[in-house]
Structure formats: structure tokens, C-alpha cells
Amino acid sequence: MSDLKKTAIEDVIRDLKDKKIRFIYLQFSDILGVVKSVTVPLEEFADCIQYGKWFDGSSVEGFVRVIESDMYLKPDLSTLTLLTWEQDEQPAARVVCSVLTPDGALFPGDPRTILAKVTEAAKVLDYKFFVAPELEFYLLIPEDNNNMVPMSQDKGGYFDLSTGLSASIRKEMVNTLSEMSIQIETSHHELGAGQHEIDFVKEEAIKSADNLITARYTLKALAQKHGLSVTFMPKPFEGIEGSGMHIPLSLFNISSAQNAFSDTKNQYGISETARYFLAGLLYHARSMSAILNPLVNSYKRLVKGFEAPVYVSWARVNRSALIRVPSVNQRKLYTTRLEIRNPDPSCNPYLAYSVLLACGLHGIKEKLPLPPPIEENVFVFDETELQHRQILRLPETLGEALDELEKDAVIKEVLGDIIFSKFIGAKRMEWQDFCRHVTPWEREHYLGVW
């Protein structure tokens, strides 16, 4: 270790000591997007920075077989941040890590490594990829029978100026994330009772994924402080709005530092690059669904009668479209973006961003044709009209989505053999378990009749 590097590490440790930090969470993600961590006392962190921290990869979903289980975590110091909600008796910080194999190579089953690879491939083409996820969730009240119900006293609607406990908690969430250097653009009440949305500022994809995966467990921790719970389940309650995670996204040219999606001469304000990228997203929309909507429950949200998209189409003002091209202030052309509306907050952001970027780049490379926009409400079209306009439907179940995913060579290539096979295997098991499950609905409708 050079003197310069040694000095830099000593500076990091000294700063943490000054802030009274006692523990460091070495954070990473399994293939499903569940946060994992190894906790080390501050005294061990310098050694972790220099040499990494060994752990048993065989116990993590989608990682390796027992015979090759030794792996280690390498901290990315640019992600080091205090967990401000853990600053009482045992102050802690978190740092996001890459997963390495025993020989020091990046582990190809690490979702963060997959996103790093595809963003590097984009940079070779002179592009940086930016995203700004809009995270929806419900604040719930635990009941004695282990059920959880929405905050019934929170009657606010979409964008309503609500007051009371839920509004106060949402402000606390935004303040806490900001203190952790996770920048928030806006927050507001959503359609459902107890439903809220927090919108993140535009960031490069890896930083955005790091922030989003940290934010999910941070919001849960803050709710627990108030005796409440947060759920990111896509459709937690029948008959009321589900929770989505719309993802505005854009490419910037590295050489010119200009938005590669912007073109004021185009009717929709989007460039040829953006149109090819959009065509790629539409072309792969059905096979991306398993990654963007990875739960059995995800497909209870993607139904008619609510705002979630059902059909593969694009538009500007049509909220039933899968992808929108939001209007842009002519003085802020750098904000030109596409907004994909089917992702939900249960997805692994590393994998979601990876497939979105890879499929968009496929559209650019192959110059895929962009179908015409559909500005009418697609939900009112009958099957004849849908077929006439060649409008496809998103998968209706996780099983159907997995069938589509297995056929997509572009997504298989970007995810790599390990993640592709392990993800499909885990999700096939989930789908089969659900198909064998006898639900209360079935007993209610069939038990006394047949």
C-alpha cells in the first residue's frame, strides 16, 4: 500500500471517528434486490478498505455453490455515508461494495457489476445513462392479528396537501435521505389512503441504484420508529391503487455534455437517438417485464381500471401508454427524457437499469423502427382495434413474463449466464408455488358449489 493510499485511508478512519461512528455496514445486493450486509466495527474498516472482507457467498440468493463459496466485498468509498437514523447509542455508516471472487475478479453474479458493465459499454458509444426513479409506497398500521392496513385517517388524494402523522413522517423521510446525500426532487401524497411518492433527482445509473436500494430499507426503518410499516408491494390491497415506480431516463453525450435525446425540430422534442432507444424499449417490453415486475403480485397491478399500463405503446399525454415523452421547457432541454411506467418498487434497480439501458442501446445499434404514438386511451380499444394497430399486451402473469424473458437473447447477454439462470430459476419456483396455492377467493367461489 502506497503512502498516499495509506494516508487517504487514515483520513477516512479519522473522519468516521470524529463523527463517533462505531460500525460500518458493508452493503451489497442479491439477484432479487434484497439488501445484504456484513457489519464490521470501525477498528476493522481500514483492513476492509485495503484487502476486502471475506464472506460465504453460498448462502446468498443466486450466488455460488458451496464448493466455491468464498468471496469478498470490496468497499466503494464514494458511497460511504452515515445512517443518520442510527445515530443514538451505536452510530453506524454504510458503504456499498462490489463482490469479488477469490482471485480478485469481479463476480459476474453481482447485480451491481452487471450494471457497471453495461454502463461502461454505453460510455464506449459516448453515452452516459441517467435515471430518476419515482418511488411509491404505502404507510401501514400493524394490527394485533399480524395484518397491516392503510392509514385510514390519511384521506389525502393525489397531490393533496395533507397534514397529520403521515405527512410529517414523509418529511422526515425526505430530510433523512437528504442528510445521507441521497437527493430528493419532490414528494407528495398519492391516490390511495396512506400512499405516498418520493421522487429522486436524476443521477447516473449506478449511483441511483445504490441510493434507491438504501432508501428502501431506510424508509422502512423510519416508519418503524413511529410504530408503522412501509410496503413496496406492487398491489397490497384489492380494489385500490397499486404502487409503481415510474422511471424517467435519458442519455447524455459524453463528448458534448448535451442531452442525446433532445431535438427541438421533432414534433415530440426527441432526437433520432431517442426514437431508436424508445423503439428498443418497446421491442423488448414484454421480455423486460420479468425484471421490471418480478413478483407474482406485480401482475395484479398491471390491469385495466387503474393508471398502470397494460399495453405496449408510447405517447406524450396519454397516461395509459407504457412509455411517455414528457413535455420539456424549451429553456431546459437537458431535461428531455423518456418515462417508462410499468416498473414497480419490488424490482432490483441494478438489473432493471441494466436491461433498460441494454434494450435501448439495442434499438440504437439496430436502428429499430419506432411505431406511431397512440394518444387515445388504449384501455377502451377492443381486440380487433388492438390487432389492427398491432398493439401488444404486457404479460398478464409472472409465468408468462418468464416465458418471454427466456426467449430474449439481448437480455440474456447483458445479465450473463449466472444471473439469467438463477433469476429465472428462483422466479419459476415462486410462480409454481403460487400456482399450487389454494386462495380464499377459490374457496369462496367454488367450495359450496362444486
Tell whether 339 and 192 lie within a shared domain. no
353 CA to centre of own chain: 7
Are 357 and 294 contained in the same domain? yes
Cell 441511483 locates to: 208
Measured distance CA(214)–CA(27) in Å, rounded? 9
Measured distance CA(354)–CA(117) in Å, rounded: 9
Coil, strand or helix at 221: helix
- Give the integer Cα–Cα distance in Å for 234 and 138: 10
Same domain, 188 and 157: yes
Question: Which H or E run contains 94?
Answer: strand 92-100
Tell which of 242, 271, 296 closes a domain: 242
Q: What are phi and psi of 288, to 5 degrees?
A: -70, -20
Q: Which residues contact 239 (CB under 8 A, 6 or more apart)?
A: none
Secondary structure (3-state) at 436: helix
**Amino acid 376: pLDDT:** 82
Q: Say if residue 316 is in the same domain as residue 422.
A: yes
Pair 301, 364 in one domain: yes
C-alpha cell at 443: 374457496
**How far does Cα 314 stand from its chain's mean position?**
21
- 264 and 409, same domain (yes or no): yes
The 10 Å CB-count burial string (b at 16+, else e) for 114-149 is bbbbbbeebeeeebbbbbbbbbbbbbbbeeeeeebe
Pairing status of strand 92-100 against strand 127-131: unpaired
**C-alpha grid cell for residue 277?**
432507444
Helix (H) or strand (E) holding 350: helix 349-366
Q: Residue 259: helix, strand or coil by DSSP?
A: strand
Q: How many CB atoms lie within 10 A of CB 19?
A: 11
Q: What is the pLDDT of residue 71?
A: 84
Measure Cα distances from 167 to 1, 173, 186 in Å.
50, 10, 13
Last residue of a domain, one of 222, 242, 262: 242
Check if the beta carbon of residue 352 is closer than 8 Å to that of residue 338. no
| CATH code assigned at 58 | 3.10.20.70
Q: Are 207 and 112 in contact (CB under 8 A)?
A: no
Please name the residues in contact with 400: beta carbons below 8 A apart, sequence gap of 6 or more: none
Residue tagged 437537458 (cell numbers): 334
Rounded Cα–Cα distance for residues 53 and 95 (Å): 12
Q: Which one of 85, 105, 125 terminates a domain?
A: 105
Distance CA 19, CA 82 (A): 9
pLDDT of residue 384: 87
Domain containing 148 equals: 135-242
**CB of 195 within 8 A of CB of 243?**
yes
Strands (E), 116-256: 127-131, 134-142, 148-150, 184-189, 195-200, 203-204, 229-231, 247-253
Same-domain pairing of 376 and 232: no
Q: Which amino acid makes up residue 356?
A: L
Place of cell 426467449: 407
One digit per residue, pLDDT tens: the chain, 450 residues?
Answer: 344 477 788 899 999 999 999 999 999 999 999 999 899 999 999 999 999 998 876 666 555 543 446 788 999 999 999 998 876 778 999 999 999 988 889 999 999 999 999 999 999 999 999 999 999 999 998 776 667 666 555 555 444 455 567 888 999 999 999 999 999 999 988 878 889 999 999 999 999 999 999 999 999 999 999 999 999 999 999 888 899 999 999 999 999 999 999 998 888 889 999 999 999 999 999 999 999 999 999 999 999 878 899 999 999 877 789 999 988 766 667 789 999 999 999 999 999 999 999 999 999 999 999 999 988 888 888 888 888 888 899 999 999 999 999 999 999 999 999 999 999 999 999 999 999 999 999 999 999 898
Q: Is the pTM of this model over 0.85?
A: yes
Instruction: Tell me: do 157 and 255 sit in the same domain.
Output: no
Q: Is 191 in the same domain as 274?
A: no
Q: What are phi and psi of 47, to 5 degrees?
A: -65, -40
Pair 205, 269 in one domain = no
Whole-angstrom Cα distance, residue 250 to residue 299? Answer: 26
Query: 9: which 3 cell numbers?
Result: 485511508
Same domain, 124 and 139: no
**Residue partners of 286: CB distance under 8 A and separation at least 6:** 312, 392, 394, 395, 401, 404
- The reported pLDDT for the residue numbered 450 is 87
For 44, half-sphere exposure in the C-beta direction (CA atoms, 13 angstrom radius) is 11
Report whether 245 contacts 209 (CB < 8 A): no
pLDDT at position 378 is 82
The total of structural domains in the chain comes to 3
- For position 159, what pLDDT does the model report? 44
CATH code of the domain covering residue 407: 3.30.590.10
34: phi then psi, degrees, rounded to nearest 5:
-80, 130
pLDDT for the residue numbered 334: 78
Q: Are residues 378 and 321 in the same domain?
A: yes
